[in-house]
Amino acid sequence: MSDTAGVLPDALKILVAGGFGAGKTTLVAALSEVESLHTEELITAESIGVDDLLGVEAKTTTTVALDFGRISLDERTVIYMFGTPGQRRFSFMWEELAEGALGAIVLADTRRLEDCFETIDFFEQRQVPFIVAVNCFNGVRSHLPGDVRIALDVDSGVPVMLCDARERESVKRVMIELVSHVLELELSGA
Amino acid sequence: MSVTPGDGFGDGGGRLIRPYSLTGGRTRPSRSDFAMTSQVVAVPMMRRAVELEPEHRAILVECARPASVAEISARVRLPLGVLRILLADLLDGGHVMVHESTWQRERPDAQTLRSVIDRIRAL
């Protein structure tokens, strides 16, 4: 709606994906200018496979919470960072989250790298640009990015870096790495 | 004060979901109408909108200043799917303006991306 374009800011959407406990909410909170917000979407039997409902207490509807944060770059530009549930049973949300996303940060916990596989597959299929950020708890760099790259089997063009999701400057570096990666793709015509 | 003719709110009857077939051909709110990051702002009202439900009013309060669909959802504590239907009511009634960035459809150009990088660095 062009008549409102001069009034309302343009939004960029960045996804923060990763398994349960990988530090998504922490990473979003490290940079968000507002206290981390959360919204909900209803899960219905149509949203997810009937099989997936087994083990979810046989409920036919429930809700999934999405944590997100906001960063105003200037009066005209705002970034929203959405924590993206990594579990397969939330995959019905991935399509909507991916639509219009500038890119994604896959936050990896080296104790449970397998939690990243499904979201990485999804981003590759949907051609959502992504980088992998290995969250180093307690500052212990127990894994080298190269090892994680091999373990996750990501394309050589995908940046893999270490980060501390609690540290604002570290999260800024992750964000800059992601947008730089998107810029490279843009310049290469990908 | 009378309801403005043609604004489609006369038959609301307290239902959350109105028959969109009767409101100018609009069907169910689609994701493209209200992306999670679409910016919504309330249009200042010259009259008290008698047709609005409390939920509608709560939404208008939250978007007195521009806010995203996701932010409004978080603040009024309504699931996104429900909020979108209520926002469609408000949009149909001329109570809100919505702005979806072109970036929802296409990647920002290189100049914009460089500017974004500089601004993140400066945070």
Please report, for chain B, the start and end positions of each structural domain, with discontinuous segments joined by +.
20-121
- For residue A186, list chain B residues with Cβ-Cβ distance below 8 A: 107, 109-110, 113
**Nearest 5°: CA angle at A25, between A16 and A171?**
65
What pLDDT digit, counting tens, does each position of A85-131 carry? 877 777 778 888 999 999 999 999 888 888 889 899 999 999 999 99
Query: Which residues are within 8 A (CB) of A24 and not within 5 positions of it... i.e. 6 or more apart?
Result: A16, A17, A18, A67, A83, A84, A107, A165
Distance from CA of A182 to the nearest CA of B (A): 8
- For residue B118, list chain A residues with Cβ-Cβ distance below 8 A: none
pLDDT of residue A89: 73
Q: Quick check: A6 pLDDT over 80?
A: no
The band of B49, judged by pLDDT with boundaries at 50, 70 and 90, is: low
Residue with the two structure tokens 């990763």 = A18
Q: Residue range B33-62: average pLDDT?
A: 86
* A66: contact with B, CB 8 A cutoff: yes
Q: Quick check: A177 pLDDT over 90?
A: yes
* B94: contact with A, CB 8 A cutoff: no
Closest CA to A42 of B67, B78, B15: B78
Q: Residue range B57-82: average pLDDT?
A: 92
- Interface contact B116-A179, CB threshold 8 A: yes
Q: Which tokens is A184 given?
A: 């490279």
The band of B65, judged by pLDDT with boundaries at 50, 70 and 90, is: very high
Share of chain B above pLDDT 70, in %: 70
Question: DSSP letter at A85?
Answer: E
Q: Residue range A143-147: average pLDDT?
A: 81
Q: Quick check: A1 pLDDT over 80?
A: no
The domain of A58 spans: 2-182
Residue A155: how many other CB atoms lie within 10 Å: 8
CATH number of the CATH domain containing A173: 3.40.50.300
Distance from CA of B50 to the nearest CA of A (A): 26
Mean pLDDT taken over chain A? 84
Q: Among the listed ranges A57-71, A135-149, B9-23, B52-66, which one has the minimum average pLDDT value? A: B9-23
Q: What's the CA gap between A96 and A78, in Å, rounded?
A: 19
Q: Which fold has domain B20-121?
A: Arc Repressor Mutant, subunit A (1.10.10)
pLDDT of residue A47: 52
- Interface contact A11-B66, CB threshold 8 A: no
The band of A161, judged by pLDDT with boundaries at 50, 70 and 90, is: very high
Closest CA to B87 of B48, B50, B44, B41: B41
pLDDT of residue B92: 86
- For residue B104, list chain A residues with Cβ-Cβ distance below 8 A: 11, 13, 99-100
Beta-strand runs (E) in chain A = 10-18, 37-43, 62-74, 77-85, 101-108, 130-135, 160-163
Q: Among the listed ranges A87-91, A125-129, A157-161, B54-58, which one has the minimum average pLDDT value? A: A87-91
Q: What is the DSSP string of A11-41?
A: EEEEEEEE-TTSSHHHHHHHH-SSPPEEEEE
Q: Among the listed ranges A23-27, A137-141, B19-23, B107-111, which one has the minimum average pLDDT value? A: B19-23
Quick check: A82 and A52 in contact, CB under 8 A?
A: no
Answer yes or no: is A111 within a domain.
Answer: yes
Residue of B nearest to A64 (CA): B79
- For residue B111, list chain A residues with Cβ-Cβ distance below 8 A: none
pLDDT of residue A66: 85
Answer yes or no: is A74 within a domain.
Answer: yes
Q: Is the ipTM of this complex over 0.90?
A: no
Distance from CA of B52 to the nearest CA of A (A): 23
The band of B41, judged by pLDDT with boundaries at 50, 70 and 90, is: very high
- For residue A37, list chain B residues with Cβ-Cβ distance below 8 A: 70-71, 74-75
Question: DSSP letter at B45?
Answer: P
pLDDT of residue A60: 54
* B110: nearest CB among A10, A82, A187: A187
Answer yes or no: is A189 within a domain.
Answer: no
- Does residue A121 come out as left (phi exceeding 0), alpha (psi in the -120 to 50 range) or beta? alpha
Q: Quick check: A170 pLDDT over 90?
A: yes
Q: What is the count of structural domains for chain A?
A: 1
Answer yes or no: is A187 within a domain.
Answer: no
The band of B44, judged by pLDDT with boundaries at 50, 70 and 90, is: confident
Answer yes or no: is A59 within a domain.
Answer: yes
* B71: contact with A, CB 8 A cutoff: yes
Q: Which tokens is A146 given?
A: 């190269």
- Interface contact A10-B117, CB threshold 8 A: no
Closest CA to B41 of A9, A34, A12, A79: A9
Residue of A nearest to B106 (CA): A100
